């Protein structure tokens, strides 16, 4: 699978149609199925895990957008005698897009979220977080882009910092 993704990325980069400029325009909705990898804080006593997710965003203009992301957590505890831990991650982020560079559309993001874990030891099941990160979209077409970002998720309960590295394919719809 990794080799296939590498070949697809190379084909997009070197194809004649790769002169398409970023298409983040006002009024566009984006649907992004993705997969991330969540690196949990050592304080959580959880194994790092793959995080399947999906996001929906709306562009207010070429620079500003808002996004809702939801992901499923399915991991194991590293504490002795503990079993599997399940949960969800919800994020609402504001995007600020930087100046596009040919195929790439870099962005900054920040927002709030909620991590829900069960069982979660002595900590509360629902944990609010703030997050910030950077990312980019690599446009293969006016309506399709590969996307990658990294976010720091700071959880108030226990002052825990998790990191989410996320990849996805964005499909743009609308105006």
What's the pLDDT score for residue 124?
61
In SS3 terms, the chain reads as CHHHHHHHHHHHHHCCCCCCCCCCCCCEEEEEEEEEEEECCHHHCECCEEEEEEEEEEECCCCEEEEEEEEEEEEEECCCCCCEEEEEEEEEEEEEECCCECCEEEEEEEEEEEEEEECCCCCCCEEEEEEEEEEEEEECCCCEEEEEEEEEEEECCCCEEEEEEEEEEEEEEEC
What's the pLDDT score for residue 18?
42
What's the pLDDT score for residue 136?
95
What's the pLDDT score for residue 156?
85
What's the pLDDT score for residue 118?
87
Show the low-confidence residues of the chain (pLDDT under 50): 16-21
- Taking only the tens place, the pLDDT of each residue in 24-70 is 889 999 999 999 999 999 888 889 999 999 999 999 999 999 999 99
Kindly list the domain boundaries of the chain, sorted by start residue: 2-174
The answer to whether domain 2-174 has CATH 2.40.160.20 is yes
What's the pLDDT score for residue 104?
85
């Amino acid at each position: 699978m990794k080799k296939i993704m590498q070949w697809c990325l190379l084909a997009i980069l070197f194809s004649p149609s790769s002169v398409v400029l970023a298409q983040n325009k006002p009024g566009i909705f984006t649907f992004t199925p993705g997969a991330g990898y969540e690196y949990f804080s050592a304080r959580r006593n959880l194994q790092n895990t793959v995080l399947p997710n999906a996001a929906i965003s709306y562009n207010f203009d070429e620079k500003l957008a808002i996004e809702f992301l939801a992901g499923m957590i399915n991991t194991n505890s590293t504490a002795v005698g503990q079993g599997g831990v399940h949960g969800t991650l919800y994020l609402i982020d504001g995007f600020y897009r930087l100046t596009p560079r040919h195929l790439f559309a870099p962005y900054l993001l920040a927002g709030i979220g909620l991590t829900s874990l069960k069982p979660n030891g002595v900590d509360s099941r629902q944990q609010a977080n703030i997050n910030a990160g950077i990312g980019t979209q690599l446009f293969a077409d006016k309506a399709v882009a590969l996307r990658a970002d990294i976010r720091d998720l700071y959880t108030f309960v226990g002052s825990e910092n998790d990191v989410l590295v996320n990849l996805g394919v964005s499909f743009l719809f609308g105006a």
